Amino acid sequence: MLYYRIAGAVIVAISGVAGAYILNSSAKGALIQAEAFISLLRSLRSDIECFAMPIPKALGRCPAELYRRCGYQSDVPPESIQQLLEGCRIWDGELRGRLEGFCRSVGRGYREEQLALFDYCLGQLEERRRVLGDQLPSKRKMNSALCLSGALAIVILLI
């Protein structure tokens, strides 16, 4: 009987550590994803500004690694930014909201308007990346503390 309690306590402790790891990974993933979308939009903006390239062609020139860092799940490059966003698993809800607002407006105006839209969205994404980066250390500590203390509380109740 004692062995079952010890085994249960070990399983709960391992679950607490795994929960902390998953939450910390998602917090770090949101930061990495924000940086990837910033890189992607900068690349698209430069292709549009320098070469007057349409968005589908500019998307085709982006490296597959950049799409993976954005969270894009398909092997086929997207043909539109909307398709890219639909194919991504976005870790941060606020980042998703800003990108959806950008997707609704992009491709519907003259070149100068599009460049201004890219600049505005890049400014918003850089601000969000800054916030995510500033919050990351405290979020990691909080996630770890909550998961481990919750697991410890359950272990105390079991034993």
pLDDT 10s digits, 14-60? 999 999 999 999 999 999 999 999 999 999 999 999 998 999 999 99
Among 38, 11, 10, residue whose Cα is nearest residue 121? 38
User: Do the Cβ atoms of 106 and 55 come closer than 8 Å?
Assistant: yes
Encode pLDDT of 61-102 as tens digits. 999 999 999 999 988 889 999 999 999 999 999 999 999 999
Predicted pLDDT at 92 = 94
| Cα 126 off chain centre by | 13
The pLDDT-based confidence of 108 (bands split at 50, 70, 90) is: confident
CA distance 55 to 27: 30
User: Stretch 93-112: mean pLDDT, rounded?
Assistant: 91
Encode pLDDT of 56-67 as tens digits. 999 999 999 999
